[in-house]
Structure formats: structure tokens, C-alpha cells
Amino acid sequence: MAVIRRETGTDATRVDHAGMIVTKRIPAVFLASCSIVLIAAAAPETKVDQGWDAVQNLRFREALTLFRNSPSGNRQSELSARLGEGVAILHRQPTTRDNIDDSLAIFDQLIREAPGTETSLQAAYLKARLIQLHPFEPDPAAAIPLYQDVTRYYPETVLGQFAFVKASGLQLYDPETADEDRPFESISREASLLTDPDVRRSYHLMMAEASHRFDYGYAYSLKHYLEAYDAGLTKPDLKANVLTRIIVLSQRLGDIETTRACAEVFLTEFPRDIRTTMIEDLITELDGTDS
């Protein structure tokens, strides 16, 4: 690709029951960009809704009481309350092994007893995240097949596709794998299943960063940085960093058209960035080469 295209997406956060940003003791257990169940802006109507509202506001003890006292009779509501109970227990302070084990037991129960439901999908994803980021015994390697199961059974869902990205990232950064054996090509072949634009952006960013980290090739990294940029980057720091990587890589590869296009965007949008002088010097150097 030689020319930066107009942005077509957004990295605005979409939040659902499996997408809460949570306490520092259990970092990033929940996905911050998914669309299984949107939380309404209006006041919650049921105890289950109130429970999820409490979770969203990090009031986990209150949430646990609401979920446990929610009325029965509606299967979907009961499943949501049970999932919420697992989430609330997980974040109840202090963090203990018993709390984590109780949450895992609830997630396992939902996976087993409610197959094919959104709740089962969310529980399976949360289980994988918890295994990966366990406060006492994190096991990223054990999380990989769990993520892969989520993708295998729910390939068309946002969480199923994000699970693919998570598993792929863990495989690429596996400390036991030699750099020449990292599975870039096999992951690329399987990425055709990714249809959600937010997931595809995350995928391209992950592939770009990993290939850059492990020296997989300038052209390969540039391709993925360009795809991530074209997907839309509204977070200023991320956009500035990606533009910088594109400028440097395209210049090294002799793709001067892309270098100039990105440099112009960077200097226009980030005039106070500490890297502006370096980029201005690069443009001056290119102008001297062209003359």
C-alpha cells in the first residue's frame, strides 16, 4: 500500500457484561471492546440490571446481593444473574483463592449447563481470561486452548473473534518458542474468520507489534500497521505511535509516498509531539534527495 486511506472506523469502546474494566488486583480480566449485550443508558429496571449497573460502577458487594436476590422464572435473567454472581465474587475484596475458585466453578457450570447461549460464551471467555491473568497462578499457556475453544464454538461472535486474537498473541509471544518458529503465517491464514472491525483492528495491531518485536520483516510489519491505521485510530497516543512506525518503516522500504503522506498527517495532528523535529528532519532529507 502506497497511500494512507481515509479512516473508516473507530476505536470507541463498546461495553457488555463481559467487558468491564475492573480492579487493579485482577487486571483486564474483562474485554473492553465487545457487543454481546449493550448496557442501557436508562435506569436499570430489574435486580439483574441493577446488579450489572453496580458491577459497572465497581460496587461488587452490592452487585452480589442483587444477583443473588433476583427473582427466578426467566431463564435468560437467571443465567445473567448467575454470570453476574461469578463476576462479583471474583472482584470481592480481598482477593482470595476461594473467591477465584468459586468464580471458576460458576463459569464452568454456565459453560456446561447453558451451551450455545450468550451467557455460556461470556463465561467461557471470562474463564480463559482468568486462567491467563490469575492473581496467584497465571497460566497463559493453559489459556490458549480455552480461547481456541471459544473461537471454535462461537466463530461469528465478537467475543469468539477476540478470543482468536488473544490466543494468537499468546502463541506469538510464547517465551518457549524460538523467534524463527513463531506462527505468523498460520495465524494470518486463519484470520479470515475476523469480520468485526474492532477485532480486525486489534488483530492488525497485535500482528504489527509482534512482527516488529521479533524482526519478522519490515514489509510484513508495515502491512499490518497500515491495516490498523485504515481501520481507524481515534486514541491520540496510539495513532501517533502507529503513524511513527509507518513513517519509519515505509522510509526504510523506499515507499516515499507513504512516508510523506503519514508525515503530513502526523505534523498536522500532533504538532507538539516530541517526535515532530525528527519527522521534519526526515522530510527535509527527502526533499534534498528529490532535488
How is the chain split among helix, strand and coil, in percent rounded to 5?
65, 0, 35
pLDDT at residue 9, as a whole number? 34
| pLDDT tens-digit series, residues 92-102 | 989 999 999 99
pLDDT at residue 23, as a whole number? 33
All residue ranges of the chain with pLDDT < 50 are 1-42
Could you give the count of Cα atoms lying within 13 Å of 265 in the half-sphere of its Cβ? 22
pLDDT at residue 273, as a whole number? 97
The answer to whether the beta carbons of residues 57 and 88 sit under 8 Å apart is no
Three-state DSSP class for residue 84: helix
Q: What is the CA radius of gyration of the chain?
A: 22
The distance of Cα 134 from the centroid of its chain, to the nearest Å, equals 18
How many Å apart are CA 70 and CA 60, to the nearest integer?
15
Q: Which residue has the cell 486514541?
A: 235
CB atoms within 10 A of CB 138: 13
Could you give the count of Cα atoms lying within 13 Å of 18 in the half-sphere of its Cβ? 27
